[in-house]
Structure 1
Amino acid sequence: MALGISSIEELLGDEASDLLDHECKTISKDRLIQPSANYVDDVWYHSDRNNRVLQNLQRLLNNGRLGGTGYLSILPVDQGIEHSAGASFAKNPDYFDPENIVKLAIEAGCNAVASTFGALASVSRKYAHKIPFVVKINHNELLTYPNTFDQIMFGTIDQAYDMGAAAVGATIYFGSDESNRQIVEVAKAFEYAHELGMATILWCYTRNSAFKVDGVDYHSSADLTGQANHIGTTLGADIIKQKQPTNNGGYKALNAGDSSYGKLDERIYSELTSDHPIDLTRYQVANTFMGRAGLINSGGASGDNDFADAVKTAIINKRAGGMGLISGRKAFQRPIGEGVKLLNMIQDVYLNDEITLA
C-alpha cells in the first residue's frame, strides 16, 4: 500500500508543515525545467544526444514503480570499493553476492541499479535485460596506506557497453588536487559513452580539507555543490548526483581574511537562496541548467531514523525541482524486506500528487 500524506506527515513530525507547505520565494518554479513524463522529448531531444542515448534515457525513466512519471529511484551499491566491502556489508553479508543487489533493486521497483564493473558483469547475462544497469567507471581505492583520496578508472566504456548498460556513472572530486585530471578523464569517457548510446550520470562531490573552516564543514554547502553541479552538467552529464546541502556560504568562508578563492555574488545568498533546505536544493537544481540535467540527491549513510530521513530527503528533492533519489546504504544495510519498504517509501513521495514543487 502506498504511503499516504497523513503517514508522511506523521513521519516528518514537527517538520511536516515546514517541508510540505514551504513556498519558494528565491528561484521561481516557473523558471525550472520540471521532471515530467515527456522529459526526454522536451529536453534532450533538442540536444546533440543521439537516438540511442535518448532511448536509454527513456528506458531509465520508464522502468520500475516511477516509470512514466519523470522521476528516478536508483539503488547504488559501489560501497564495496568506496568504503571497503567489510564495512559496507557487515550489517547484511548477503550483499557480498552482487546478485542480491540486483534482486533488491528489482523487487523494490527501482528505475535502475548502479554498481561496479565486476558486480554487474558477474550477473549481466541474467539481469541486464530486466533492469537498466548503471556501471560506475571510477572509484576511490581505500587500501593504499596511508589512505589517498582519488578517483581512478576501473574499466572501459566498451566493457560497460558490452554488458548491456543503459548508462555509465562516474565521480569527480571537485576542488581536489586531482580534479583537473578527473575532469578530463570523465569528459572523454562520457563523450565516448554518448557515442555508443549510453546515458551518463555524474557524482559531483567536493573534496578538499580546506573546505572545513573554523569547525564548519562546507563540503555540502549550496554554493560549492551548486558550482560542482554546473561544471558537471557542462562536461556532459545527463543526470547529476549530489548530496543535499546542509549549509551555505562556502565561498564566503574560504574568502575570509586576505585570501581570494573563486568568484561570488552576494545575490547568491540574499536572493537566490535562503536557509531553508528546499531553497538551498533549488539552487543546486538551478546550476544543472535550470533542470535540463536532472538532479538526483544521495540518500546518505544509514542511521537511527532511516525511514523518516529518506522520506524527508525525497520531499526536499521533489519540492526543489529535483528528479529523484539515489539511495543505497539505508536500503541494503538491512534485511531485504525492510530495504524494499524503505525504497518504496521514497518512491511514494514522488507518486504522491499532493507533494508539489515549492
Structure 2
Amino acid sequence: MSQTIQELLGDEAKGLFEHECKTIDRGRLHLPGPDFLERIVCGTDRNQRVINSLARLFEHGRLSGTGYVSILPVDQGIEHSAGASFAPNPDYFDPENIVRLAIEGGCNAVASTVGVLGAVSRKYAHRIPFLVKVNHNELLSYPNTFDQVMFASVDRAYDLGAVAVGATIYFGSEQSRQQLVEVAEAFEHAHELGMGTVLWCYLRNPAFKADKDYHTSADLTGQANHLGVTIQADIIKQKLPTNNGGYPALKFGKTSPLVYEKLTTDHPIDLCRYQVANCYMGRAGLINSGGASSGASDLAEAVKTAVVNKRAGGTGLISGRKAFQRPMNEGVELLNRIQDVYLDDSITVA
C-alpha cells in the first residue's frame, strides 16, 4: 500500500484497512472489475450502443480497464452559483479549463452542463468521454425551492457527442415525483440513442433534519439509490453516508429492524455497503461524491472517501470542488491520489 495513502489517513488507517464487513458479505455483491461489462451489463436489456458508450467511459483515463471510475463533475455554477463555485479559482469560469483538468487529471469522464461541454465539444468530445447533466436546480429564483429543471434535452447531449447523460432527483422534495417521471423518460430515451445514464440520488427536505441531519443517513440514501436503479440508472451518484436510522428518527416510511440489527453497523464501510446493496447488489455502480472543499484537509478527505467506497464494493469517486477550487496542478494531484486508491491492489473489498 502506498505510504502516502496511509499517511493521509493517519490514525484512521488501521480502522479502515483492517475492517471486516460482517453485515452483507462481499460474496453477495457484483463487484467492479475488468470484466464488469461482460459479466453484468451484457446480460441486461441495454442495446449494443449503450454498452459501447459505457465501455468508452470505463476504458478511459488512469483507471482504464479496472472497472472503477474517476469522474470530474463541474455543474455547481448553476445551483451553488458561478461566483461561489469559481471565485476561489476564476480560471474555471472558462469551460476549456474544466475539460483540461479532467484530461490532465486522468479522469474517465468529465460531467458538466450542456453549455460548458457544448462550448468546447468539437475540440474535446473525441478526447475524453462527455457526461452531460441535463437538469439542474438554480437558486437565483426567489424563494428557493428544491426542484430540478430540464436545462437540456437528451437529443442535444447526443448531438454534441456525449457518452452518457446525468440527472438529479431530489428525493423527498415536493417535486420529486414529477422529477421521477421526467428523468425516467429522459433515461429511456438516452438508452434508445445509445448513451449511458448516471443519477444524482440526493435527498432534499427540511423535515429530514431532526436530532441530526439525516440527508446522508445510510437507510434513506440507500432507498434513494434503490429508486434510482428502478428507473435504470447505469451508475448511481450518492453522498457518503455519515449516519443511520433516518426512518425511525423521522417516524415515516417503512423499513425493517433487520436493517439496523443485521445489515448495517456504525462503521463507515458497512454504511456504504448498504448503499451498494441498494444498487441491485452492485449491478449498478455506486460512485460517492467528494463533497465541498474545506481547504487543507481536502486531500485526506477525498482519499478516505475513496477507501470507504472501494472497500464497501463501490465503483469510484466523483469529485469536483475539491479539485477545481485550487490551482490546476494541485487539482490534478488530488484526482491522481483518489485514483491511486483504486489502482492499489492491496486495498481490497471488505
TM-score, normalisation: structure 1: 0.97
Match for residue 333 of structure 2 among 322, 341, 354: 341
The residue that corresponds to 2:311 in the other structure is 319
Unaligned runs of 5+ in 1: 256-260
The residue that corresponds to 1:239 in the other structure is 235
Match for residue 290 of structure 2 among 283, 292, 299: 299
Shift in Å, 1:149: 2.0
* Partner SS, residue 191 of structure 1: helix
Shift in Å, 1:341: 0.1
The residue that corresponds to 2:259 in the other structure is 268
- Residue type at the aligned position of 2:107: C
- Residue type at the aligned position of 2:214: Y
State how far apart, in whole Å, the 2-side matches of 1:113 and 1:209 are: 31
- The answer to whether residue 222 in structure 2 is matched with residue 223 in structure 1 is no
Match for residue 85 of structure 1 among 79, 82, 86: 82
The residue that corresponds to 2:269 in the other structure is 278
* Partner SS, residue 317 of structure 2: strand
Match for residue 248 of structure 1 among 224, 244, 249: 244
Shift in Å, 1:236: 1.2
* Partner SS, residue 9 of structure 1: helix
State how far apart, in whole Å, the 2-side matches of 1:17 and 1:158 are: 48
The residue that corresponds to 2:323 in the other structure is 331
The residue that corresponds to 1:165 in the other structure is 162
Shift in Å, 1:6: 1.9
Shift in Å, 1:155: 1.1
The residue that corresponds to 2:107 in the other structure is 110
State how far apart, in whole Å, the 2-side matches of 1:5 and 1:107 are: 22
State how far apart, in whole Å, the 1-side matches of 2:143 and 2:178 are: 22
1:242-293 residue CA offsets vs partner (Å, 9 max, x unmatched): 00000000001111xxxxx211100100100000000000000000000000
Are the equivalent residues in 2 in contact too, given 1:314–1:324 (CA < 8 A)?
A: yes
Shift in Å, 1:5: 2.4
Residues paired across the two proteins, number? 349
State how far apart, in whole Å, the 1-side matches of 2:5 and 2:156 are: 42
Q: Which runs of at least 4 in structure 1 moved beyond 6 Å after TM superposition?
A: none
Are the equivalent residues in 2 in contact too, given 1:138–1:170 (CA < 8 A)?
A: yes
TM-score, normalisation: structure 2: 0.99
Unaligned runs of 5+ in 2: none
The residue that corresponds to 1:205 in the other structure is 202
* Partner SS, residue 290 of structure 1: helix
- The answer to whether residue 274 in structure 2 is matched with residue 290 in structure 1 is no
| Identity percentage of aligned residues | 71
Are the equivalent residues in 2 in contact too, given 1:239–1:295 (CA < 8 A)?
A: yes
Match for residue 126 of structure 2 among 110, 119, 129: 129
